[in-house]
Amino acid sequence: MGKESKLKTPDWILEGYDSKEDYEKAKGVSKKKSSGKVFKIRKCPECGSDNVGVVLTGEEGKGGEWECHKCKWIGRDVDEKELSEDEFMKYLDEKGEKID
């Protein structure tokens, strides 16, 4: 027979918090859900361009580096924003993208 899994005591209890909500508040965890679709935009921290992509080198799953195609910046901490559908459409209009 296989090994039976055991229950694990939640971290919030192990660290002495009274409730899961108190633990998440202390740790800065936010579970705020947006209604509707959410769009993510990644921008270069150097030049602000949104023309960034993942660098595909090395072992699979070990990368995590980003490259700006405009200024050739390479790094891990790319700026990421979450926009609602209306904000995203406004962003595309300002950028001059064609919407079909």
Q: Is residue 92 part of a domain?
A: yes
Q: Is residue 77 part of a domain?
A: yes
What is the count of structural domains for the chain?
A: 1
pLDDT band at 92 (very low <50, low <70, confident <90, very high): confident
Report the predicted TM-score, pTM, of the whole model to 2 decimal places.
Answer: 0.52
Q: Write out the chain in H/E/C secondary structure.
A: CCCCCCCCCCHHHHCCCCCHHHHHHHHCCCCCCCCCCEEEEEECCCCCCCCEEECCCCCCCCCCCEEECCCCCEECCCEEEEEEHHHHHHHHHHHCCCCC
- Residue-number span of the structural domain to which 73 is assigned: 38-100
What are the pLDDT digits (tens) for 43-80? Answer: 988 888 888 988 877 666 566 788 999 998 888 888 88
